[in-house]
Amino acid sequence: MATDIIQDPPTSTLIFSTASSNFSKTLTDIKRSSLSIPNRLRSLQQDSKFVLSVADTFNLPLIANERCGGWYIPPERKASSAYFKSTDGHTGQWKFSLRRLNLHVLDVVAEHGGCIIADSARRGKSMPDALSKTIPIWCCVLNRVFFPKDIDTHQLYTPHGIVSNSEHSQIEGFLGGFVKRFQDLHLPLPVLRQTFTKPLRPVWVRPETALSTCMPINANKSNVVILCTASRCHAPEDWYIQGAGDDGEGWAHGLTADLYWANKEMLMRTPEGELEGSIAQLVASAGRPTDLGYTLINPTTGVYVGTSAAATAAAAASYGEADFDLIIDCSPVEKHGPPDQVDPQKIGTKVKAKSLTLPCGTGKLGSRALRKELPHAADFIAKAINDVSSDQEQSQGLRILATCPTATDLAVGVALMEEVGLDYGVNAERESVKVDVAGC
């Protein structure tokens, strides 16, 4: 018996309904609306109230875990900033960062008997990995290094219900290596011990936490480090955005936490249709250099930080030909073209001072670019040191200006590298300066 073979029709004859694409577009529009800037600002305002209530309850200073934490703490209430990365706490990627030691936090802790470190979690997470694992690892490593004979302080603490027993045990297996790496830095531990006299004990709070029952810690024996998650996992408000301050580069249109707090009332009352324009005006105004000067970095005698405008003025001799021996400017990449087409050694205006421009963007991408460019700057400084004189004092008397658009970002990293380079002196091998500085 013959069987008819049914062939599929050619795709050109198929007619697809536009309903599915319209539905998808509607969902996208709804999501974009729910994640609007006004909703983010309202969410930040609400979460900030919780963070301040934690500080008032425990009478401890607030530290913002940047870059997100600063959105939740008014500048007048912020005792300091910290830089603990969630990536250092990701499962299977646990790390004690030697680039982000955050030892300045110990000064705040020693003065007040503890601190509160604020951060937030994105949608789907009840706590950021920085608070659940990165900082607990940091506390445990410091306790083991500073109190080697006090075995009771060597325990790793992680939040129950957030970090599984299995992951907790795996992290413990790495702690010995983390301790050794920290000790290999040969930091002046006796000096630090003068203020760091009690071990650190992490405690966790979230909006769901009953604050009155969350701290059974003996303050006489430990410095409590309260790890505060600002955002809620579940909220009845349909406009609420969990972790609203996260990834500001993706939604804030250049608005920073400092700008937000300085103009909070105005921003909150601005209609949504006018908000992006108002933010653009704020950002443009903040970006205008109000001072073309520069700041000496203490305790150095010749390392300065300033804005890129200061570099331009200095190169044009507005400050006088002898003001700086070297100028290193970190400028946005778009100013020079694609990175793979730019030779950093050939960039820079050699007018009245020896200068070098490193093609770096801003924010997170700029910091990554800077790490790749630091060897060029190290060579630049090493050559200048060797050219000056064989006199160690004269080489350390070099006046060097490091700049970036804000004078508070990449220029600071370059200034640190400059000081390290000067410490090597003229007799240092250029390759040693290059390698050691590039690891800063």
Q: For 381-431, give the secondary structure using H, E and C.
A: HHHHHHHHCCCHHHHHCCCEEEEECCCCCHHHHHHHHHHHHHHHCCCCCHH
Please compute, for residue 295, the number of CA atoms within 13 A of its CA located in the half-sphere on the CB side.
Answer: 14
Per-residue tokens: 111: 């003065």
pLDDT value at position 217? 64
| Strands 303-307 and 294-296, sheet pairing | antiparallel
pLDDT value at position 320? 45
Specify the 3-state DSSP secondary structure of 81: strand
What are the residues facing 11 on neighbouring strands?
Answer: none
What average pLDDT values come out for the chain (440 residues) when binned by 10 residues? 56 56 47 71 96 94 94 96 95 93 94 95 90 98 95 94 96 97 92 88 90 67 94 88 87 90 95 92 72 74 83 56 77 53 41 73 80 87 72 63 85 82 45 36
pLDDT value at position 31? 45
Let me know: does 353 contact 399? Beta carbons within 8 Å.
Answer: no
Let me know: does 255 contact 248? Beta carbons within 8 Å.
Answer: yes
Let me know: does 304 contact 295? Beta carbons within 8 Å.
Answer: yes
Read off φ and ψ for residue 223, nearest 5 degrees: -95, 115
Chain Cα centroid distance, residue 391: 39
Distances (CA, A) of 81 to 114, 302, 323, 430: 14, 26, 33, 34
Listed residue (89, 88, 106) closest to 97, CA to CA: 88
Distances (CA, A) of 277 to 225, 253, 274: 40, 10, 5
Strand ordering across the sheet containing 400-404: 294-296, 303-307, 400-404, 326-331, 354-359
Specify the 3-state DSSP secondary structure of 359: strand
pLDDT value at position 13? 58
| Strands 78-82 and 62-65, sheet pairing | parallel
pLDDT value at position 260? 94
pLDDT value at position 17? 56
| Torsion (CA) 263, 266, 269, 272 in degrees, nearest 10 | -70
pLDDT value at position 257? 92
What are the residues facing 358 on neighbouring strands?
Answer: 330
Let me know: does 294 contact 404? Beta carbons within 8 Å.
Answer: no
d(CA 48, CA 72): 5
Read off φ and ψ for residue 400, nearest 5 degrees: -125, 135
pLDDT value at position 74? 96
Question: Counting every residue, how long is the chain?
Answer: 440
d(CA 381, CA 400): 9
Other Cβ atoms within 10 Å of 19 Cβ, number: 8
d(CA 141, CA 271): 49
Q: DSSP for 174-234?
A: HHHHHHHHHHTT---HHHHHTT--S-EEEEEE-TTS-GGGS----TTT-EEEEEEE-S-S-
Let me know: does 350 contact 416? Beta carbons within 8 Å.
Answer: no
d(CA 70, CA 60): 17
pLDDT value at position 323? 72
pLDDT value at position 427? 36
Read off φ and ψ for residue 89, nearest 5 degrees: -120, 5
